[in-house]
């Protein structure tokens, strides 16, 4: 029984009062977000030491207000501020007013639309909004409900990969026998996000059967159809079974775009058109709302089996929201479907009888049974910003990235070793003659991030260490880009001056001065494997 001194857990007047507290808190946070260092200077355990060891037996007076004070004083100083306009380390997790309020609205309604009957409007809104979104991205008709395919909203790209691998796995094992699961092979490039191999392992693919095909400078680190076909043929010759290809549109290290049309044609032309082709466009898929980027992103997708992108990365939909489309929804439902629960069966029959085969039960499109009402948030974003608003948002970030690239190229100390793609700029200090410059660029990254005025990350591509500046946050404006460039320039001057005072920075090997790699190089944001090379 609820004590008389307390409101019930759901109480309209108290919700209004507390809701205002939370909304004001968030609005004040965004007003002051530029005052916080982007990344906190804290050590593990800093928060644990400041909080009690057990939960309170009774709430304190005005507990929410007290808790919000602790959020302000204890938690905010320990956050990496992903919505900071000076956060350039990762592909963004963009936020918007309607994205956040859509999350709040969905949380307030608090439904569980795992079947059509469990919340008919939620299911049907998801059907509508995934077709809306797919049309805004100019996806081929065969991926939309209106063209015989269909879409769903999941949490992350890893979920989309897992669901499609499972669908491909079960379809193939039905043909060759379940005992041959150990022969199944999946393919990607060495630039593909590590979540693909994680998803493959969860789906039962042996670790040794995950092929990460090397890329090169010559192809701008895109997956070569010739190399893919060679790997597939080698596996077939060894008695293994090619199952799945993950092509990426916008890789994490450099935003490279794999040639989807050519990859599909290579597989089909060699008689391997039964290999499931998934296009992971988690980051760059959003850019296809703009006509000028559409061909690079969408070309060849009509030959793929599935496509996914994350509107929470670049289209203001707030975490989390991954859109997945498939050409054959029945492949998902056959692998992931559940029809053994009597309650669900009776509920389904009671709601729409036996003649409604077209009804979508989204529990059969995902791993989990319960699910969130993500469609409401994405629907609000599309309604309140419109496709033209999304285009303007993407173009503003691409324009700022181009400005950052131009400033970088105008300073002879720097180089942009791979082409800028979309709103990602990869750069590094130029190496002096005969010097492989790894440590100096690491020190530059550390110095930039230590200022708290900008936060960037790094990657290793083709053996070369580069810094990454990914522009995409909702609050980022031109002056933030100019300030980030000043930070990079200032810290480069300091790093180069310090390096010039060090006579013994490396050892001579042949005609190259090579810097030893140390543990410092294993940075949390490192992508790829380091080796001592010069840029071609």
User: What CATH number did the domain enclosing 48 receive?
Assistant: 1.20.1340.10
Q: What confidence tens digit (pLDDT) does each residue in 257-276 have?
A: 999 999 999 999 999 999 99
Q: Answer yes or no: do 311 and 413 share one domain.
A: no
CA 150 to chain centre: 21
DSSP-derived secondary structure for 50-67? GS-SS--SSPPTTHHHHH
Q: How many domains in the chain?
A: 3
Q: Cis before residue 17, ω within 30 degrees of 0?
A: no
Residue 355 pLDDT greater than 70, yes or no: no
Q: How far, in Å, CA of 450 to CA of 444, rounded?
A: 10
Q: How far, in Å, CA of 430 to CA of 448, rounded?
A: 17
Q: Mean pLDDT across the chain, nearest whole number?
A: 89
**Cβ contacts of residue 325 below 8 Å, gap of 6+?**
130, 134, 139, 143, 144, 149, 150, 151, 306, 307, 308
Of 319, 341, 372, at which residue does a domain stop? 372
- Angular region, 150: left φ>0, alpha ψ -120 to 50, beta rest: left
Q: Answer yes or no: do 143 and 231 share one domain.
A: yes
Query: pLDDT value at position 189?
Result: 97
Pairing of strands 276-280, 150-154: unpaired
Continuous H helices in 337-373: 342-352
Q: What confidence tens digit (pLDDT) does each residue in 316-328 have?
A: 999 999 999 999 9
Strands (E), 64-155: 150-154
Phi, psi for 153 (deg, rounded to 5): -115, 120
Domain that holds residue 281: 111-372
List C-alpha distances in Å: 170 to 175, 326, 340, 452.
9, 16, 19, 49
Q: What confidence tens digit (pLDDT) does each residue in 128-139 have?
A: 999 999 999 999
Whether residue 96 lies inside any domain: the answer is no
Q: Answer yes or no: do 366 and 389 share one domain.
A: no
Q: How far, in Å, CA of 375 to CA of 452, rounded?
A: 36
User: What CATH code is carried by the domain that includes residue 212?
Assistant: 3.40.640.10
Element (H, E) at 417: none
pTM of the full structure: 0.89
């Amino acid at each position: 029984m609820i004590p008389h001194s307390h409101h019930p857990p759901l109480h309209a007047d108290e919700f209004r009062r507390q809701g205002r507290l939370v909304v004001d808190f968030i609005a004040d946070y965004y007003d002051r977000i530029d005052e916080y260092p982007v990344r906190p200077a804290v050590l593990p355990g800093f928060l644990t030491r400041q909080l009690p060891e057990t939960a309170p037996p009774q709430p304190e007076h005005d507990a929410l207000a007290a808790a919000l004070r602790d959020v302000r004083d204890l938690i905010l100083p320990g956050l990496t501020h992903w919505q900071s306009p000076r956060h350039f380390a990762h592909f963004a997790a963009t936020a918007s007013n309607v994205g956040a309020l859509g999350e709040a609205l969905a949380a307030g309604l608090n439904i569980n639309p795992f079947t059509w009957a469990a919340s008919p409007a939620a299911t049907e809104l998801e059907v509508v909004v995934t077709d809306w979104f797919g049309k805004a991205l100019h996806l081929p008709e065969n991926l939309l409900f209106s063209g015989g395919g269909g879409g769903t909203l999941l949490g992350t790209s890893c979920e989309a990969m897992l669901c499609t691998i499972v669908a491909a796995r079960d379809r193939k094992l039905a043909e060759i026998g379940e005992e041959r699961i150990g022969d199944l092979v999946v393919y990607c490039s060495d630039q593909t996000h590590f979540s693909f191999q994680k998803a493959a392992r969860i789906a039962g693919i042996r670790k040794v059967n995950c092929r990460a095909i090397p890329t090169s400078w010559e192809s701008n680190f895109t997956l070569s159809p010739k190399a893919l076909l060679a790997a597939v043929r080698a596996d077939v010759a060894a008695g293994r079974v090619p199952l799945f290809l993950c092509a990426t549109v916008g890789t994490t290290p450099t935003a490279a775009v794999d040639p989807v049309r050519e990859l599909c044609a290579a597989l089909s032309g060699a008689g391997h058109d039964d290999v499931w082709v998934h296009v992971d466009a988690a980051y760059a898929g959003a850019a296809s709302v703009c006509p000028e980027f559409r061909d690079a992103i969408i070309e060849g997708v009509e030959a793929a089996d599935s496509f996914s992108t994350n509107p929470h990365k670049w289209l203001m939909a707030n975490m989390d929201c991954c859109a997945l489309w498939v050409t054959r929804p029945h492949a998902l439902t056959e692998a992931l479907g559940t029809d053994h629960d009597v309650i669900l069966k009776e509920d389904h029959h009671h709601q729409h009888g036996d003649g409604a085969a077209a009804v979508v039960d989204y529990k059969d499109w995902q791993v989990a049974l319960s699910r969130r009402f993500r469609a409401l948030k994405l629907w609000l974003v599309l309604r309140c910003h419109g496709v033209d608003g999304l285009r303007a948002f993407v173009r503003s970030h691409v324009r700022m990235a181009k400005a950052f690239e131009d400033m970088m190229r105008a300073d002879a100390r720097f180089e942009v070793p791979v082409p800028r793609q979309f709103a990602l700029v990869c750069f590094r200090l130029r190496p002096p003659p005969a010097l492989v410059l790894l440590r100096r660029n690491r020190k530059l990254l550390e110095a930039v991030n230590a200022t708290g005025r900008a936060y960037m990350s790094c990657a290793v591509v083709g053996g070369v260490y580069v810094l990454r500046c990914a522009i995409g946050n909702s609050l980022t404006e031109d002056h933030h880009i100019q300030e980030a460039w000043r930070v990079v320039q200032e810290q480069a001057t300091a790093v180069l001056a310090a390096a010039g005072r060090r006579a013994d920075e490396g050892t001579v090997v042949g005609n190259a001065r090579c810097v030893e790699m140390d543990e410092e190089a294993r940075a949390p944001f490192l992508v790829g494997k380091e080796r001592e090379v010069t840029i071609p």
